[in-house]
Amino acid sequence: MLREDVTEAIRSAVFEELAAVGFARMSIEGIARRAGVGKTAVYRRWKSKLSLVLDLVSAVAAQGLPAPATGSLYGDVRALLEVASHALRHPVASQVIPDLLVEAARNPEIADTIRAALLDGRQGVAALVVRDAVARGELPETADPDRAVDLILGPLYWRLVVVRGDLPEGYLDDLAASVVAALTRG
């Protein structure tokens, strides 16, 4: 039986190693050293660094974003923006996400896992936000959850991950208002 504390130490070490050296230079040896375990402890759990990273990306995505229930479309969008902005500004995430996206361009297996991880969880939350807004009469029944994901997360991802800019005072409020305006226009 595998010890859960060792498995958790390895998982933490993977994120640290990814942030420090990136996927291409990451090694099982480096992960084991950071986790304070032998390489065999890693290989007992995962057959390769690829399977290890894919497993972790899937596990993190499964946790997903919490579905807000503020009682208004603006409140729900604003809450999602707040959670997403904290996640994207996390020091490890800000290093790991861009690196994995570069690797996804080279490796279809990574691309498929990331696509499923990023889209499935976010679309599920967006679908709930849209469904609730439709039920309250804030959006038409034809409102598209995929468009909601694009409008909610696209600008935030661009600003925090691609441009690596700061969020000025009131940015999330303004972005939430813009998203709501765009969604309600159809």
Cβ contacts of residue 58 below 8 Å, gap of 6+? 113, 116, 117
Fold matches, 4-57 and 66-185:
no
Task: Give the torsion through C-alpha atoms of 144, 146, 152, 155, to 10 deg.
Answer: -130
Q: pLDDT digit of tens for each residue in the chain (186 aa)?
A: 889 999 999 999 998 898 888 888 999 999 999 999 999 999 999 998 888 888 887 777 666 667 899 999 999 999 999 988 988 887 777 777 788 888 888 889 888 887 777 666 556 788 889 999 999 999 999 999 889 989 998 999 899 988 888 999 999 999 999 999 999 986
CATH architecture of 66-185: Orthogonal Bundle (1.10)
pTM above 0.85, yes or no: no
Q: Using an 8 Å Cβ cutoff, are 66 and 87 in contact? A: no
**Nearest Cα to 9, choosing from 46, 34, 44, 38?**
34
Cα distance between residue 155 and residue 136, in whole Å: 26
Q: What integer pLDDT is reported at residue 78 of this predicted model? A: 97
Q: What integer pLDDT is reported at residue 63 of this predicted model? A: 67
Cα distance between residue 114 and residue 100, in whole Å: 8
Q: What integer pLDDT is reported at residue 183 of this predicted model? A: 95
Q: What integer pLDDT is reported at residue 180 of this predicted model? A: 97
Residue ranges of domains in the chain? 4-57, 66-185
Q: What integer pLDDT is reported at residue 175 of this predicted model? A: 97
Cα distance between residue 160 and residue 122, in whole Å: 17
Q: Using an 8 Å Cβ cutoff, are 81 and 176 in contact? A: yes
User: What CATH topology corresponds to 4-57?
Assistant: Arc Repressor Mutant, subunit A (1.10.10)
Q: What integer pLDDT is reported at residue 134 of this predicted model? A: 96
| DSSP-assigned states of every residue in 111-139 | HHHHHIIIIIHHHHHHHHHHHHHHHTTSS
